[in-house]
């Protein structure tokens, strides 16, 4: 079987370079072209020395990336993907967007949180939301995939089985999340400069982060009712990882056994979801460099509170790993192909 030809636009960013890493280890895909504006003409291995002798490919233009590839991963800042997606659509190429341009079904909500417009509404109709564990059948064979963000993957993973089975109240849910600094991308930011970041730990965009409507969209689709949640992200001075600690009210009479049954049923066939043994709390370290999502469950009978904790690598299941999982589904490959990555033990 001929390998899938892959182009990565924005390959020099954190998400783009991680896609390159995963494609380099994929048995049925071949990196054909990478693009960058700032580093055009430079080898990727000069931008990231870890790739020396592994990927000395030279960064070219966006045009070259499209021309040479069957699938184009766009790892660009929000707002830059619509034109590129339209071109891929015209040329019959698969387009997987790492940004938010195709994630939200409502253009009004997109305008409110991102400030942009949907330039081609028919194209947006074609987009599918790439969270395979919940929307797998919709993704298979599709050519325009909106890859979810990192928090927007971690939170539903923690909550969906309880919600889907009506075990928790839909009102009053709190998602208290922490992210590693790679989540903010490679572009230097003063607050992420080492002396200011090191030893610090703070919340940001409290109850006002652009991932809120995306998380609500997923939870609403699953529960069948319009949901609102309180989402508070924090920045952790570590490189990788998202830890989502989600709090919800248990419905009256719901037992711990019912909770565990719901999660076991939902996730027993899911290779990338590891439901941890009772009492073991998810830890970002245990999913580093992988596409795993670890989920742990706790109930507090004294207060009737359910606590679900998920851990992902923001660059893995939160970005590049999930994007490759979506590529596999789109092209009819084994979903786990190239993604059976083992985390370091310590
Ligand atoms: N980091 C993460 O954990 C996650 C990121 N994402 C999403 O992935 C996308 C990329 O994020 P990330 O890799 O973190 O960001 P980075 O800042 O690390 O990388 C951005 C990339 O986009 C390119 N770029 C920037 N501006 C332009 C422009 N005007 N025209 C063309 N290319 C441009 C840069 O290339 P160059 O300067 O070389 O031209 C760079 O390769 C974003 O949409 C982000 O939201 C999604 C999930 C998780
Ligand atoms: C630590 C940090 O800054 N994280 C980023 C989220 C990164 C991400 O996932 O971006 P998208 O999902 O929107 O593509 C933020 O809070 O904006």
Per-residue pLDDT tens for 295-332?
999 999 999 999 999 999 999 999 999 999 999 999 99
Atom of ligand 1 nearest to the CA of 15: 13
Ligand 1 mean position, distance from CA 76 (Å): 4
Q: Is the CB of 315 under 6 A from ligand 2?
A: no
Residue at 241 is within a domain: yes
What pLDDT score does 266 carry? 98
- Here the CATH number for the domain that contains residue 262 is 3.30.360.10
Same-domain status, 38 and 181: no
What pLDDT score does 1 carry? 84
Instruction: Give the number of domains in the chain.
Output: 2
- Please give the structure tokens belonging to residue 169: 């109240």
Ligand 1 mean position, distance from CA 231 (Å): 23
Q: How far apart are alpha carbons 240 and 315 in whole angstroms?
A: 7
Ligand 2 mean position, distance from CA 45 (Å): 25
Residue at 70 is within a domain: yes
Radius of gyration of the chain (CA): 20
Atom of ligand 2 nearest to the CA of 319: 9
Same-domain status, 276 and 300: yes
Residue 319 has what DSSP assignment? I
Same-domain status, 137 and 29: yes
Ligand 1 mean position, distance from CA 218 (Å): 24
Residue ID of nearest Cα to ligand 2 atom 11: 149
Same-domain status, 136 and 179: no
Same-domain status, 93 and 18: yes
Same-domain status, 253 and 140: no
Q: Is the CB of 150 under 6 A from ligand 2?
A: yes
Question: Which ligand is closest in space to the CA of residue 240?
Answer: 1
Same-domain status, 200 and 139: no
Residue at 339 is within a domain: no
In this prediction the pTM is: 0.98
10 Å CB burial of residue 27 (0-12, 13-18, 19+) is exposed
Return the bridge partners of 5, or none: 30
Q: Is the CB of 153 under 6 A from ligand 1?
A: no
Residue at 337 is within a domain: no
Question: Which ligand is closest in space to the CA of residue 318?
Answer: 1
Same-domain status, 130 and 180: no
Q: How far apart are alpha carbons 42 and 59 in whole angstroms?
A: 6
Q: How far apart are alpha carbons 1 and 285 in whole angstroms?
A: 36
Ligand 2 mean position, distance from CA 209 (Å): 9
Mutate to test the pocket of ligand 2, among 129, 149, 314 (most ligand atoms within 8 A of CB): 149
- Here the CATH number for the domain that contains residue 38 is 3.40.50.720
Q: State how far the alpha carbon of 264 is from the alpha carbons of 70, 124, 173, 294, in Å.
A: 37, 34, 22, 13
Atom of ligand 2 nearest to the CA of 209: 16
Determine which one of 59, 150, 177, 246 is catalytic: 150
Q: How far apart are alpha carbons 98 and 129 in whole angstroms?
A: 11
Q: State how far the alpha carbon of 191 is from the alpha carbons of 184, 197, 242, in Å.
A: 11, 6, 19
Low-confidence ranges of the chain (pLDDT < 70): none
Range of the domain at 177: 151-313
Same-domain status, 189 and 237: yes
What pLDDT score does 328 carry? 98
Return the bridge partners of 230, or none: 174
Same-domain status, 163 and 131: no
- Please give the structure tokens belonging to residue 31: 């990196």
Q: Is the CB of 132 under 6 A from ligand 1?
A: no
Same-domain status, 324 and 211: no
Residue at 99 is within a domain: yes
CA 63 from centroid of its chain's CA atoms: 26
Residue at 222 is within a domain: yes
Residue at 31 is within a domain: yes
Active site residue 150: yes
Residue at 335 is within a domain: no
Length of the chain in terms of residues written: 346
Same-domain status, 326 and 296: no
Q: Are strands 174-179 and 71-74 parallel, antiparallel or unpaired?
A: unpaired
Q: How far apart are alpha carbons 113 and 278 in whole angstroms?
A: 38
DSSP secondary structure string for all residues of 212-258: HHHHHHHHHHHHSS----EEEEEE-SSSS-EEEEEEEEBPTT--HHH
């Amino acid at each position: 079987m001929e390998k899938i030809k892959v182009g990565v636009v924005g390959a020099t960013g954190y998400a783009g370079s991680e896609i390159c890493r995963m494609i380099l280890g994929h048995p049925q895909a071949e990196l054909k072209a990478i693009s960058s504006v700032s580093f055009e003409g430079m080898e990727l291995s000069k931008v990231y020395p870890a790739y020396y002798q592994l990927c000395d490919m030279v960064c070219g233009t966006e045009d070259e990336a499209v021309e040479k590839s069957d699938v184009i991963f766009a790892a660009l800042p929000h707002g830059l993907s619509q034109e590129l997606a339209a071109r891929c659509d015209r040329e019959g190429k698969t387009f997987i967007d790492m940004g938010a341009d195709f994630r939200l079904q409502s253009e009004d909500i997109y305008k409110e949180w991102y400030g942009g417009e949907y330039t081609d509404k028919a194209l947006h109709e074609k987009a599918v939301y790439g969270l395979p564990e919940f929307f797998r059948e919709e993704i298979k064979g599709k050519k325009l995939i909106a890859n979810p963000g990192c928090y927007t993957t971690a939170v539903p993973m923690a909550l969906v089985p309880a919600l889907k089975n009506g075990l928790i109240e839909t009102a009053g849910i709190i998602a208290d999340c922490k992210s590693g600094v790679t989540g903010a991308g490679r572009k230097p930011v003063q607050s992420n400069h080492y002396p200011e970041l090191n030893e610090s730990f703070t919340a940001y965009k409290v109850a006002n982060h652009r991932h809120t409507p995306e998380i609500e969209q997923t939870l609403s689709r699953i529960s069948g009712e319009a949901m609102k949640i309180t989402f508070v992200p924090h920045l952790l001075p570590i490189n990788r990882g998202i830890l989502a600690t989600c709090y919800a009210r248990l419905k009256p009479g719901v037992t711990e056994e019912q909770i565990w049954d719901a999660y076991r049923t939902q996730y027993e066939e899911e290779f990338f979801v590891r439901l941890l043994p009772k009492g073991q709390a998810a830890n970002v370290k245990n999913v580093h460099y992988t596409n795993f999502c670890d989920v742990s469950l706790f109930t507090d009978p004294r207060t009737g509170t359910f606590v679900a904790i998920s851990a992902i690598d923001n660059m893995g299941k939160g970005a590049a790993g999930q994007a490759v999982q979506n590529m596999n589904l789109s092209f009819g490959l084994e979903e786990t192909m190239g993604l059976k990555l083992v985390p370091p033990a310590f």
